[in-house]
């Protein structure tokens, strides 16, 4: 995921998708999540983002994203999305 994110930040979106198709989804989501925490902390002296994200729809969305992430991880072992990453 790190290499895919770096490729996307350099504008190589095709290479990023080939390395990990979920990097283009997770990277902006994590960036917005951390930015929301920072803004909330600056405004209120404590982060209140998690209070706003309480609910069944958020829990279900996170479970779906986790299952999709697990599916991509398993698919890479069988050669999909560039196969296992060389170490």
**pTM as predicted:** 0.64
Q: What pLDDT is recorded for position 52?
A: 73
pLDDT in tens, 22-74: 988 888 888 888 888 888 889 888 877 777 777 777 778 888 988 998 998 88
- Calculate the dihedral angle through the C-alpha atoms of 49, 52, 56, 58, rounding to the nearest 10 degrees: -40
Distance CA 62, CA 68 (A): 10
Question: Crossing angle of helices 2-9/23-44, nearest 10°?
Answer: 80
The backbone torsions φ and ψ at residue 73, rounded to the nearest 5 degrees and listed phi first, read -60, -45
């Amino acid at each position: 995921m790190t290499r895919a994110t770096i490729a996307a930040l350099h504008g190589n979106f095709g290479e990023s998708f080939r390395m990990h198709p979920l990097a283009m989804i997770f990277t902006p989501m994590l960036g917005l999540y951390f930015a929301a925490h920072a803004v909330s902390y600056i405004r209120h002296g404590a982060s209140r983002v998690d209070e706003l994200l309480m609910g069944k729809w958020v829990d279900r969305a996170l479970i779906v994203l986790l299952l999709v992430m697990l599916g991509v991880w398993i698919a890479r072992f069988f050669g999909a999305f560039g196969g296992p990453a060389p170490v």
